[in-house]
């Protein structure tokens, strides 16, 4: 295999160590065993006709085969397209068509997910490049395509041809969260993945003798894959959940001496919900979290009091997860904010004022732009979208709003599409939402921008507690607490917010909330 310092293979530290590389359901896998399985998988892929430039879709939960397929594809110069296990037929068809996948490796079944039924709704004409399915856990599943069994670990295949792993060609395709036109495919190379993994290991000062990771995020997303690769690069042990559940996560955190884990705010909320008053997290040092739901500040305070230290971070498919993270010495209020310090010493972050187009000084909000070794190659088979996302001097336009601090760190505030220009000022919805959530009778709140008779205003949606709030009373309270331009023109009481499942957690559909607000205003 390639010994190039920027290849995925370079991350595998095979020196003698008593610690396994991975632990899957109490079954340890050593680094030597992992290397052997990569070679077995590469031989199997070659036997299926996979070679340089071919795309293999991987539709699996977290298992050793997933990681082996990625490293083996790199060995052959092939490309892995990561398929979210929450996808259904339309999502799967879109990804297969856009990637041009020739082969898809798929679960036979997992819990309530019926992979065969989902594939039955994908027609051959939708995905003309797909030639074959490879099934894990069964010889075949009912499908339109020929099926083979993934038996790389059970059968001997002829050795794979000499390594074809060009470290600067695409090797892994993530999907973005998606738009009405369907998600784009974000292409990363071995160089971008391996370089960033090494930066994560160095920035977190990971010690293979002392540190370990609980991997509870799906490998199909950058959040799960980046944290995994960072600990592989450090030579530290990774304990893996095939899919997140709070009870087994709590058991591993409490009993295996785990020092690091990463997840969404909802994951940590579920873990705390089944944790008693004692402090079982004796070894935990860093719990990096991404905030997708309201109430994340309150969650962080509760977690801190119960020995679960949450750290804000920042990342995206385009610049990879764990791009930046807060530092242990930060004040608590700063530590839990999204953003922090970049993992790579070569990364550069700047903020551009959306109104003037000029670079913004410290403390002024604008769009975050990033240049870093972890930056993606581009959107796969989409040159126009790639061109639009990259500045002339090579910075990625993140579409996120934030501000620079004077100490070299930055703060992520909101998505650009969520930020509101009210009264001539850029306003983050969270500022108004926090005030609403402090009101009696309000459990959660979401605020979106609306056009009211040609004027930019905001509207709020609130989920009531036992005693539903009166919108007029809430508005009167906000008038006493906030600048006039921040007070919602309308407040609507709803039972729940519209949400979308993603690889990293449940995200609120703010675009749908905006549409709902405009529909209600129009109906008035």
CATH number of the domain within which 322 lies? 3.40.50.12780
> Distance between CA 435 and CA 422 in Å, rounded?
17
Q: Is residue 2 domain-resident?
A: no
Which tens digits make up the pLDDT trace of 126-156? 999 999 999 998 889 999 999 999 999 999 9
Residues 6+ positions from 272 with CB-CB distance below 8 Å: 299, 302, 303, 306, 308
Average pLDDT over residues 406-415: 90
379 pLDDT more than 80: yes
Q: List the structure tokens of 320.
A: 């990879």
**Would you state the pLDDT for residue 179?**
39
Alpha-carbon distance 10 to 23, whole Å?
21
Residue 94 lies in a domain: yes
Mean pLDDT rounded to a whole number for the chain: 90
Which pLDDT score is estimated for 29?
Answer: 96
- Please report the pLDDT score of residue 328 as a whole number: 94
pLDDT tens digits, one per residue of 319-356? 999 999 999 999 999 999 999 999 999 999 999 988 78
Does 18 fall in a domain?
no
φ, ψ dihedrals at 316, nearest 5°: -160, 170
Residue pointed to by tokens 């109104």: 355
d(CA 17, CA 35): 15
Domain match, 235 and 344 both: yes
Stretch 427-438: mean pLDDT, rounded?
Answer: 82
CB 77 within 8 A of CB 190: no
Mean pLDDT score, 209-237: 96
**486, 389: one domain:** no
Neighbours of 265 (CB within 10 A): 23
Say whether both 328 and 470 belong to one domain: no
Segment 476-496 shows an average pLDDT of 87
Mean pLDDT calculated for residue range 11-28: 84
Q: 372 with 507, same domain?
A: no
Q: Is 1 a member of any domain? A: no
Residues 149 and 66 in one domain: yes
Looking at the fold, whether 156 and 68 belong to one and the same domain comes out as yes
Q: What is the pLDDT of residue 292?
A: 73
Phi, psi of 368 (to 5 degrees): -80, 130
Q: How far apart are CA 439 and CA 316, in angstroms?
A: 33
Backbone angles phi, psi at 123, to 5 degrees: -90, 160
pLDDT at 484: 79
Range in 198-202, 276-280, 453-457 with the lowest mean pLDDT: 276-280
Domain C-terminal end among 382, 415, 448: 415
On whether residue 15 sits in a domain, the answer given is no
The pLDDT assigned to 253 comes to 94
- In percent, the amount of the chain with pLDDT more than 90 equals 68
Quick one: residue 511, left, alpha or beta (phi over 0 = left, psi -120 to 50 = alpha)? alpha
Q: Among candidates 157, 122, 152, which has minimal Cα distance to 136?
A: 152
Tally of structural domains, the chain: 3
**Is residue 199 in a domain?**
no
CA distance 113 to 86: 8
DSSP state of 9: G
Lowest mean pLDDT among 110-114, 178-182, 312-316, 380-384: 178-182
| pLDDT above 90: residue 415 | no
Does residue 114 share a domain with residue 134? Answer: yes
Beta strands in 67-222 (DSSP E): 79-82, 103-107, 132-136, 147-149, 170-175, 185-189, 212-215
Q: pLDDT grade, residue 478 (50/70/90)?
A: confident
Stretch among 11-15, 25-29, 373-377, 512-516 having the lowest mean pLDDT: 11-15
Nearest to 116 by CA among 139, 82, 97: 139
**pLDDT over 70 at 1, yes or no:** no
Which comes out higher in pLDDT, residue 266 or 286? Answer: 286
Q: Please check whether residue 403 is in contact with residue 364, taking contact to mean a CB–CB distance below 8 angstroms.
A: yes
82, 185: one domain? yes
Q: 250 and 389: one domain?
A: yes
How far are the Cα atoms of 338, 420, 490 from residue 414, in angstroms, in the given order? 9, 10, 21
First vs last Cα of the chain: how many Å apart?
67
Question: Predicted confidence band at 419 (pLDDT cuts at 50, 70, 90)?
Answer: low
Q: What does the pLDDT average to over 178-191?
A: 77
How far is Cα 381 from Cα 99, in angstroms, rounded to an integer? 8
| CA dist., res. 328 & res. 310, Å (int) | 10
The neighbour count for residue 24, using CB atoms within 10 Å, is 17
pLDDT at 183: 75
Crossing angle of helices 64-76 and 31-47, in 10° steps, is 60
| Distance in angstroms (rounded) separating the CA atoms of residues 416 and 339 | 15
Asked if the structure places residue 396 within a domain, the reply is yes
Dihedral of the alpha carbons of 338, 344, 348, 349, in degrees to the nearest 10: 0
Name the residue with tokens 């002339």.
392
| Residues spanned by the domain of 424 | 420-523
Tokens of 458: 């905001």
28: helix, strand or coil: strand
- Among candidate residues 376, 396, 415, the one where a domain is terminated: 415
pLDDT band at 426; cut points 50, 70, 90:
low
223: left (phi over 0), alpha (psi -120 to 50) or beta: alpha
d(CA 29, CA 21): 6
Among 383, 415, 447, identify where a domain stops.
415
Phi/psi-derived region of residue 258, left when phi > 0, alpha when psi is between -120 and 50, beta in every other case: beta
Checking if the pLDDT of 387 tops 80, the result is yes
Quote the pLDDT of residue 423. Answer: 63
Q: What is the DSSP string of 199-258?
A: HHHHHTT--TTT-EEEE-S-TTSHHHHHHHHHHHHHT-EEEE-SS--HHHHHHHHHHS--
Tokens at 253, concatenated: 């955190």
Distance between CA 260 and CA 245 in Å, rounded? 17
Asked whether residue 194 is assigned to any structural domain, the reply reads no
- 409 and 426: one domain? no
Q: How many CB atoms lie within 10 A of CB 266?
A: 20
Q: Nearest to residue 40, comparing CAs of 64, 18, 58, 4?
A: 64
Domain co-membership, 76 together with 156: yes
Distance CA 401, CA 473 (A): 31
State pTM to two decimals.
0.83
How far apart (Å, rounded) are the C-alpha atoms in residues 114 and 396?
38
Handedness of CA 146, 151, 155, 161 (dihedral sign): positive
Distance CA 127, CA 147 (A): 16
Q: Are residues 274 and 336 in the same domain?
A: yes
Cα Rg, the chain, nearest whole Å: 24
- Residue bearing the bigger pLDDT, 69 or 89: 69
Does an H or E element contain 464, and which?
strand 455-464
């Amino acid at each position: 295999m390639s010994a190039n310092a920027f290849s995925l293979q370079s991350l595998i530290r095979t020196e003698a160590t008593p610690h396994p590389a991975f632990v899957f359901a109490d079954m340890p896998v050593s680094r030597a065993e992992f290397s052997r399985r990569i070679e077995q998988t590469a031989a199997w892929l070659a036997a299926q006709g996979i070679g340089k430039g071919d795309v293999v879709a991987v539709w699996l939960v977290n298992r050793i085969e997933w990681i082996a397929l990625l490293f083996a594809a790199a060995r052959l110069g092939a490309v892995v397209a990561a398929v979210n296990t929450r996808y259904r037929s339309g999502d799967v068809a879109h990804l297969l068509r856009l990637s041009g996948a020739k082969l898809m490796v798929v679960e036979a079944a997992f819990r309530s997910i019926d992979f065969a039924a989902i594939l039955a709704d994908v027609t051959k004409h939708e995905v003309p490049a797909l030639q074959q399915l490879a099934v894990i856990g069964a010889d075949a599943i009912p499908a339109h395509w020929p099926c083979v069994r993934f038996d790389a670990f059970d059968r001997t295949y002829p050795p794979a041809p000499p390594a074809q792993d060009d470290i600067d060609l695409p090797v892994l395709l993530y999907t973005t969260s998606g738009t009405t036109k369907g998600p784009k495919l974000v292409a990363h190379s071995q160089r971008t993945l391996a370089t960033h993994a090494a930066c994560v290991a160095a920035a977190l000062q990971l010690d293979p003798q002392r540190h370990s990771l609980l991997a509870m995020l799906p490998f199909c997303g950058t959040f799960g894959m980046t944290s995994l690769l960072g600990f592989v690069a450090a030579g530290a042990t990774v304990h893996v959940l095939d899919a997140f559940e709070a009870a087994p996560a709590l058991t591993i955190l409490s009993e295996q001496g785990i020092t690091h884990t990463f997840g969404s705010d909802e994951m940590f909320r579920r873990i705390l919900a089944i944790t008693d008053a004692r402090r079982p997290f004796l070894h935990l040092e860093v719990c990096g979290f991404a905030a997708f739901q309201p109430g994340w500040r309150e969650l962080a305070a509760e977690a801190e009091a119960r020995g679960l230290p949450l750290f804000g971070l920042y990342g995206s498919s385009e610049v990879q997860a764990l791009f930046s993270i807060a530092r242990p010495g930060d004040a608590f209020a700063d530590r839990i904010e999204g953003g922090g310090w970049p993992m790579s010493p070569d990364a550069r972050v700047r903020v551009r004022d959306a109104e003037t187009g000029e670079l913004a000084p410290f403390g002024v909000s604008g769009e975050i732009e990033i240049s870093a070794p972890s930056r993606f190659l581009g959107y796969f088979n989409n040159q126009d979208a790639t061109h639009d996302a990259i500045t002339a001097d090579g910075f990625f336009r993140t579409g996120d709003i934030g501000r620079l601090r004077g100490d070299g760190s930055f703060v992520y505030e909101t998505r650009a599409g969520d930020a509101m220009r009210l009264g001539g000022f850029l306003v983050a919805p969270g500022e108004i939402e926090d005030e609403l959530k402090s009101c009696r009778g309000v459990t959660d709140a979401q605020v979106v921008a609306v056009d009211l008779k040609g004027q930019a205003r905001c509207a709020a949606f609130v989920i009531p507690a036992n005693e539903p709030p009166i919108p007029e009373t809430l508005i009167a309270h906000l008038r006493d607490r906030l600048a006039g331009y921040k007070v919602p023109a309308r407040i609507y009481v709803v039972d729940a917010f519209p949400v979308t499942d993603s690889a990293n957690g449940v995200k609120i559909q703010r675009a749908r909330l905006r549409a709902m607000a405009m529909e209600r205003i129009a109906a008035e």
